[in-house]
Chain A
Amino acid sequence: QVQLQESGPGLVKISETLALTCTVSGASVSGYYWSWIRQSPGKGLQWIGSTNYGGNTNYNPSLKGRVTISVDTSKNQFSLRMNSMTAADTAVYFCARGATPFSWGQGTLVTVSS
């Protein structure tokens, strides 16, 4: 059974870059698509983007080119980078297996503040 665990800073300064990692166990990252989703406090879910080992990526255009998702097979991880962070990016960030998420991590809260 695949398990996913997000890690990264809980606090990011305005205008800086967020870097999150998702560690995968129970499956090889080279075998599937992987995605990131976020949930602002008290709000609904927003799909951020997805990728696979072959570099087939898709991003949410609403994030205006601020996002990069990549896979690291040597560590069996995938990562999210989002630049030019603002307070509106404060959210719980989830990693998941599949471009359409099947299994989800527990999520990590990222707060953006000056």
Chain B
Amino acid sequence: DIVLTQTPLSLSVSPGQPASISCKSSQSLLHSDGKTFLYWYLQRPAQSPQLLIYEVSSRFSGVPDRFSGSGSGTDFTLKISRVEAEDVGVYYCLQGAEFPRTFGQGTKVEIK
């Protein structure tokens, strides 16, 4: 199985400040069709996860543009340009390159 390793595992950020989460894969997520299948989700407290970013850098419908994804191959990053109170929760990366799909361990983001 592909292993995804997220760092850091927790993050405390002041409102309006940037935040960055890394996700490293045990193997390349570049598919033969040229797409890279790395996704980012946010699970707010007591809610189900919601998709933020698909295929490394495309924002899902309704996701604010303060969220951005980047990376290639095995190294990926989710950035929040200016953290807001509603961004609190656990962020997960997921790989869609192979079955079984696998998630990172999660990064808990809280507001200072």
Contact = CB atoms under 8 A, between A and B. Distances in A.
Interface of A: 35, 44-47, 49-50, 58-62, 94, 99-107
A46 B103 contact: yes
A99 B100 contact: no
B44 to A, nearest CB: 12
Where chain B touches its partner, the secondary structure class is: loop
B76 interface: no
A105 B96 contact: no
19 contacts: A44-B104, A45-B92, A45-B103, A46-B103, A47-B94, A47-B100, A47-B103, A50-B101, A62-B1, A62-B100, A94-B48, A94-B49, A99-B96, A99-B99, A100-B37, A100-B96, A101-B51, A104-B48, A104-B49
Interface string B73-111: 000000000000000000010101001111111100000
Contact of B50 (A44, A100, A104): A104
B67 interface: no
Interface centre among B37, B48, B50, by most chain A C-beta atoms within 10 angstroms, is: B48
Nearest to B95: A100
Q: What 5 pairs between A and B have smallest CB-CB spacing?
A: A100-B96, A47-B101, A60-B100, A58-B99, A104-B48
B33 to A, nearest CB: 14
A35 B102 CA distance: 13
B101 A100 contact: yes
A102 B89 CA distance: 18
Chain A CB within 10 Å, residue with most, of B49, B51, B100:
B100
Given A45-B49, A59-B100, 17 more contacts: A35-B101, A44-B105, A44-B106, A45-B92, A45-B94, A45-B103, A47-B102, A61-B1, A62-B100, A100-B54, A100-B94, A101-B49, A101-B94, A102-B51, A103-B51, A104-B48, A106-B47
B85 to A, nearest CB: 22
A58 to B, nearest CB: 4
B3 to A, nearest CB: 12
